[in-house]
Amino acid sequence: MPSGRIAVSVATIGLGALQLGGVAVAAPAGGGGGVDGTSCTDARIKACVDLSENRAWLLDGQGNVVYGPVRNSHGAEGQETPTGDHIIQRKERHHVSQEYEGSPMPYAVFFDNEGRAFHGGSTDRESAGCVRLGPDDAKRFFEHLNPNDRVQIVE
């Protein structure tokens, strides 16, 4: 190796640890501001949601914010929005909830198999587990996210 240069090997290993030059280091916990000023830790994600701060961001999948933070609301007690890593399942521009009396869910982007989604609506009240966004923000999330994109939700 030429003098004056230092090689550092970085690789991801299981359970959120990083391998740095032979030393395992714990990755930042959720809420630690790990990806470009967000509360998420995985640079491969396309959306980050911080439930404790009611903020959400869109990312480019390489750790860079492309939109946000924006305000959101999330699941009420007993109907919590699930934390962790999720994969976008499908999108539906004019979705109407069958479970909740025909409630409109415009710009729905479903992130689990339980019917929870990013969608437009009032951010002034809690949801039944979805991540509710203002109308313009919901449209941006709908346009940016696609099936198989990764999202991370932290407390």
Nearest to 147 by CA among 105, 111, 97, 107: 111
CB 59 within 8 A of CB 42: no
130 is catalytic: yes
CB 39 within 8 A of CB 51: no
CB 30 within 8 A of CB 155: yes
Beta strand residue intervals within 31-141, DSSP E: 47-50, 55-59, 65-73, 84-87, 90-96, 104-110, 117-120, 131-133
Q: Hey, what are 95's tokens?
A: 């979705």
The catalytically annotated residue of 74, 86, 95, 119 is 119
74 is catalytic: no
The catalytically annotated residue of 74, 95, 130, 144 is 130
What are the residue numbers of the active site? 119, 130
